[in-house]
A = this chain, B = another copy of it.
């Protein structure tokens, strides 16, 4: 193994000069740097990661904790992970993969052994048990999603309120005047994360602002429930022409139910959803939708961490603007 002293000898300088030439932490004459770099190339020198970590107390590794829970959309997780790795590499960092399964002990382990410099957590719950731990660790972290109480921590996620609003604005612009929101199962509004409520807030704010008639319906994650909600909707709002769905599990059954009830999508009814693109695209009628921008979330999460590692202050909350993709399920209202 070729080490820094070999390079130093070969270039006719001291080891510290090689180190400074590499890190740029002290001025080095252009000529010396050239010589050092040539020696490095010629000898094929690679600094030993462990030695570097020991001496500098920086491992240049980030921990990424991925969820295992069922009900998490796998491609989204994967896309996110890839974007974290790619962005981390741009900042000369590597990524250590941890599973949720290891729990708090795993986080403490990689942090306390100085295996990693910082942590990224996915799938954060409202009352996530890891919050106190994160606060007590001596390394920075970023969470994907918003817990109930995030004081002193850094969070990032899609701006779900804006997403709710954007869906409504889209329908309003198409001329729809009577709309409904089909939301998550009731229990989601309690447990898990705050995002469900925020969609409702956005939805309501936008319908008010646009003077639309509207209702909100939580819906169980079962086809039968979808059918029931569809019937109820048509009974209560016979003039309904626009629906926003924030519930991946019932999107397809709901559309089926509407069509069985004699409404064509988008002819009689426009549907927009907040769900992964994959789902929206795969349906018989591709659905106009807003997706969680996983690649962007990953990238931004890493960048937040880098700033924290550099000692900069970062905002506690980062909300990513929603982007709506128009597909076949929305159309201008057939003005009579």
Show the binding face of A for B, using Cβ within 8 Å: 44, 46-54, 59, 61, 64, 66, 68, 74-75, 77-78, 81-82, 85-86, 89, 94-99, 101-102, 106, 109-110, 112-115
Contact = CB atoms under 8 A, between A and B. Distances in A.
A231 B334 CA distance: 44
A78 B82 CA distance: 11
25 contacts: A46-B109, A46-B112, A46-B113, A49-B59, A49-B115, A50-B51, A50-B52, A50-B53, A61-B96, A61-B115, A64-B97, A74-B74, A75-B75, A77-B78, A82-B99, A85-B98, A85-B99, A89-B102, A89-B106, A94-B98, A94-B110, A94-B115, A95-B96, A96-B96, A96-B97
Number of copies: 2
Contacts of A44: 112
A139 to B, nearest CB: 12
Contacts of A113: 46-49
Given A49-B115, A94-B98, 8 more contacts: A48-B113, A49-B114, A68-B82, A74-B74, A74-B75, A89-B106, A94-B96, A96-B97
